[in-house]
Chains A and B, each alone.
Chain A
Amino acid sequence: MSDNPVFDRIQSEIDGNAVVLFMKGNPMFPQCGFSAAITQALTMMEVKFKGIDVLADDEIRNGIKEFSSWPTIPQLYVKGEFVGGCDIVREMHESGELKKLLDDKGVEYAS
């Protein structure tokens, strides 16, 4: 537990779900091209992930930036570890590093 209740909420989301995407909109209807790009990469690989819509929750929207020391949305977490934003995930997807990360973390994906 931290002394920040929003951080505790964020922590419990990333503890409770192997892959978490803090995004604008939801995985079915991303509200932002950057969030859509990560959603598309994860969907292509058939990775199960939890999308958290920051537009529906201003506390999380502001808290996650401080929590990760990262000023923008989307943000991807795998097994509790911050992976990055859209540019990083796309680059890792293209280079095969994303697969390697999922392998290392024991997260299942199709291809």
Chain B
Amino acid sequence: MTVQDTIEQKILTALTPSYLDVINESHMHNVPPGSESHFKLVIVSSDFDNLPLVKRHQKVNGILAKELKDDIHALSMQTHTLPEWEERGGALMASPLCHGGDKASQNGD
């Protein structure tokens, strides 16, 4: 299973999101073609209701602890409740470029 599939499966199981997008942004970085190192997640879930942003991100980081340790070099995420998501009309923020990609020595991890 690809890292992307693993992320998707784990989030689907843990958060039963009403919207989920797992975007592989590795091509935006200095890594070989086909890499699975840089991801962006957009998650809309009622599990985020009444949780501050930090707790939401910690929840997701916890679900993906193994992937963050072993595979993912940089992870960007947007976490919304359903009302928040509707209010923004489903808008995405652009992820920053990290200027790197060499997992062992560089950024994001």
Contacts and interface: CB of A to CB of B under 8 A. Distances in A.
Contact of B108 (A69, A72, A87, A92): A72
Q: Which size bracket describes the interface of A in this complex? A: 20 to 34
Contacts of A83: 54
A29 to B, nearest CB: 11
A34 B96 contact: yes
A84 B107 contact: no
Contact of B61 (A32, A36, A71, A90): A71
A73 B65 CA distance: 15
User: For the complex, would chain B's binding face be called helix, strand, loop or mixed by DSSP majority?
Assistant: mixed
A14 interface: no
A90 B57 contact: no
A37 interface: yes
A78 to B, nearest CB: 12
Contacts of B109: 71-73
A85 interface: yes
Interface in A72-111: 72-73, 82-88, 90-92
A91 to B, nearest CB: 7
Interface in B60-90: 61, 65, 68-69, 74-78
A66 B96 CA distance: 24
B8 to A, nearest CB: 19
Interface string B91-106: 0010011111000001
12 contacts: A32-B108, A33-B98, A33-B99, A34-B76, A72-B74, A72-B109, A84-B57, A86-B76, A88-B53, A88-B54, A91-B78, A92-B53
Given A72-B74, A86-B76, 12 more contacts: A24-B107, A31-B107, A33-B99, A35-B107, A69-B58, A71-B109, A72-B109, A85-B57, A86-B96, A87-B77, A87-B93, A91-B78
Interface of B: 53-54, 57-58, 61, 65, 68-69, 74-78, 93, 96-100, 106-109
Interface of A: 24, 31-37, 69-73, 82-88, 90-92
